[in-house]
Amino acid sequence: MKRKIITIDETRCDGCGLCIPNCPEGAIRIIDGKARLVSDLFCDGLGACLGHCPAGAITVTEREAQAYSEEKVMENIIRQGDGTIRAHLEHLEEHGETGYYDAAIAVLQRNNILVPGKKKEAAQVFSGCPGSRAMNLKNSAASEPETAGARSSRLTTWPVQLHLVPVNAPHYRGRDLLLAADCVAYALGDFHRDFLRDNVLAIACPKLDEGQEIYLEKITALLSESGIASLTVMTMEVPCCSGLVHMVKQALARVPSASCPVMWKVVSMKGEVLQSTRI
């Protein structure tokens, strides 16, 4: 995938090593007297090391690179102790990387490690916009049978808007992802019961939303690094909705190694599923 990542000019680097303490992710090491990027997986491209290179040998560029993995980074950071954990979390917060931050907290929780300097009940402190915080809603209604009367929500994760979906959130791993055009849920009377019951959700409008190129990058990352079990794309029958499928096909071309099945369902304005095909 194409993303921002550091580039080191070997002709300028004098091997002073000042960049290393400011890269808690462990992406940089001194090898043969020069700073080297040892793994794309560990470099988040946020440039914490930039201001600490007196030779100006480090820049951030956009190029083809292996997707950054917050879980791999945390495995390395945990071994370095509380100080490094704290520095890494502060680094993510300063850059507004809420998805990575929540993924890091999830790794700490799985390993029964408290956020350094915070009490147990504050271990999930989130400093970004509350509406973009990644959450596993653990909706009990998702597994309950339908009964007469009011219907419960089947939504199990948040956020759902594609711009805000954190691809590294652990609650996507091994789950079936439904990527629906915005209008789909309004056309399908039983959208929650029939399509959210077993799926995590992302929504987007391929016609009116800004940042379509960001959508392409996000879908590519979902296919390559989120660990989803399958992807179902749901669009309306109107022509403008086909843009969402086109982006998925472009993303699949960028990730030829993607192994999860991808389905496309077309919904009519009367609320009928007109088509269901494998992409």
Distance (Å, whole) CA 254 – CA 14: 36
Q: Please list the pLDDT of the chain residue by residue as tens digits (279 residues).
A: 788 888 999 899 999 988 887 787 778 888 888 888 877 778 888 887 877 788 889 998 888 887 888 888 888 788 878 877 887 888 777 777 777 888 888 888 888 887 765 544 334 444 455 555 666 665 555 555 655 567 789 998 889 999 988 888 888 889 999 999 999 999 999 999 999 988 999 999 988 888 888 899 999 999 998 999 999 999 999 988 989 999 999 999 999 888 899 999 999 999 999 999 999
pLDDT value for 228: 94
| 8 A C-beta contact, residue 160 and residue 203 | yes
Contacts for 138-141: CB closer than 8 Å, 24+ residues apart = none
| 8 A C-beta contact, residue 197 and residue 172 | no
pLDDT value for 13: 92
pLDDT value for 170: 83
Rg (CA), the chain: 21
Q: What topology does CATH give the domain 2-64?
A: Alpha-Beta Plaits (3.30.70)
Distance (Å, whole) CA 69 – CA 103: 10
Ordered by start, the domain boundaries in the chain are 2-64, 71-129, 134-278
| 8 A C-beta contact, residue 234 and residue 228 | no
Lookup: tokens for 188: 């399908």
Lookup: tokens for 65: 């690179």
